[in-house]
Amino acid sequence: MENGFSLSLTTLFSHLKTISSPSKIKHDIVDFAINIKSVAVHDPRRIAHSLKVALAITLVSITYFLEPFYNIFSDAGIWAIITVAMVFEYTVGATLSKGLNRAFATLLAGALGLGADSFASLFGQTVKPIILGFFVFLIVALATFSRFIPNIKKRYDYGMSIFMLTFILVSVSGSRVDSIIKLAHQRLTAIVFGGVIGILISLCVLPVWAGEGLHKLIVKNLEELAKFLEGFGGVYYRISNGDKLFFDSYKSVLNSKATDEQSLANSAWWEIGHGKFQFRHPWTKYLEIGDCTRQCAYHIEALNGYLEEKYAPSEFQETVKEPCMKMSSEVGKALKELGSSMKLMICPSSSYIHIKNCKIAIEELNTTLKVSMVADRCDVLEAIPVIAATSILVEIIACVETMSKAIEELSKQAHFQEPKCVTLSEQTEKPHYVDHGFALGGKYKETIIVTVL
């Protein structure tokens, strides 16, 4: 037993010695520095945000440092510092949301707390605690239940928490403090002061807009999906070799969370008009588009499994090569057009052409499959994986069509710019370039609309 205990102590001391060795400490410090650098390089705005928070905290600290401010706020000045620390978020929208929630919740709860204290005082000091206890129970129960209501939880959850806390502090402290009105006034003034400082710095010093972030995220996801689908046909038929970036392009969409987009949309709802985004921009439409992109990414994840097969394309696979590659290419182009129209905030005009070509390719695929089945020229075991892959492509096309309708609706609600168009009434025999746009070759007797970006 003693030998075992001695061996355990020896092992422990040896492990501690290894951990505390100079080389190990140096290695940990270097790793920590590399991690800090990678975070800063990935998004330099994080450095600016850190400095903005430090600036806001420093400014509100003058409530203690300078005598004139201390005479106004007294010891309640600490609430200004707490307010900045609690409401200052990375984006302008999140800061506005928390700041306005905190200010209005404090004002309303303070008024109700003073009213409850005054009303309870009418019944004398003996009954007053019972009345206050009843009000605390009632208000807290109602406020807590209201947080389960979806619309309140989405935008006013933080405000309800502050409302409960402030009401309890004002009503309870009122039974022990004679100058309750002065205390409430100082606390409210300090909170408003801290909130205003935080909001002004967030708005005026290198602002980070949640709406702009959500817009760029959706555009990036569309471009990533388009990149994979445009190259899928060539890789599937071993015409080209996809690199690692090709295989991983859609995974960023797959790993994106609906909660992150919901958080950005909720924050953007509070933001004022900025850049090309007007006040009350239809941010909820972005959530609908985001759901479609994730659904499309799930289908692509299943489709990606068929690229891992290393053998040469089968005979049946070759029979459906043309419509399959056309489906993949056209749906990728449709996504690329949708992403471009969102990026430039221009009404989508040509994506429907690619979706129409996808539907034509689906009809060609159905015809090819019927001919192959009737002629009994296909092996069932060879046909199953090919049919499965093409069926996933069909699902992706349907998903992109739904996405196209959502983006078209967004363009109407957000008043996207109309693209400049040129009409060609004459027949065209070859690809024809007009004013930086182009018409696809072929004989068209109807009017061709060429988009000019």
Q: What pLDDT is recorded for position 140?
A: 92
Q: Report the alpha-carbon distance of residue 188 to residue 380 in Å, rounded.
A: 76
Q: What pLDDT is recorded for position 317?
A: 78
- CB neighbours of residue 281 within 10 Å: 23
Which are the contacts of 140, defined by CB distance < 8 A and separation ≥ 6?
Answer: 164, 167, 168
> Over pLDDT 70: what percentage of the chain?
81
What is the rounded average pLDDT for all residues in the chain?
Answer: 80
Cβ(274)–Cβ(211) under 8 Å? yes
Residue 175 pLDDT class (50, 70, 90 cuts): low
Residue 14 pLDDT class (50, 70, 90 cuts): low
DSSP letters for 339-391:
HHHHHHTB---SHHHHHHHHHHHHHHHHHHHHHHHHTT-S-HHHHHHHHHHHH
Single-letter code of the amino acid located at 10: T
DSSP state of 273: P
Residue 36: is its pLDDT beyond 90? no
Q: pLDDT tens across 148-160, in order?
A: 998 888 889 999 9
Q: What pLDDT is recorded for position 417?
A: 86
Q: What pLDDT is recorded for position 17?
A: 54
Residue 436 pLDDT class (50, 70, 90 cuts): very low
SS3 433: strand
Domain chopping of the chain, boundaries: 1-39, 43-204, 210-417, 419-453
Q: What pLDDT is recorded for position 289?
A: 93
Q: What pLDDT is recorded for position 7?
A: 43
Residue 242 pLDDT class (50, 70, 90 cuts): low
Q: Of residues 419 and 346, which shows the higher confidence score?
A: 346
Q: What pLDDT is recorded for position 84?
A: 93
Range with the lowest mean pLDDT among 10-24, 230-244, 424-438? 424-438
Q: What pLDDT is recorded for position 188?
A: 85
Residue 339: is its pLDDT beyond 50? yes
CATH number of 210-417: 1.20.58
Residue 273: is its pLDDT beyond 70? yes
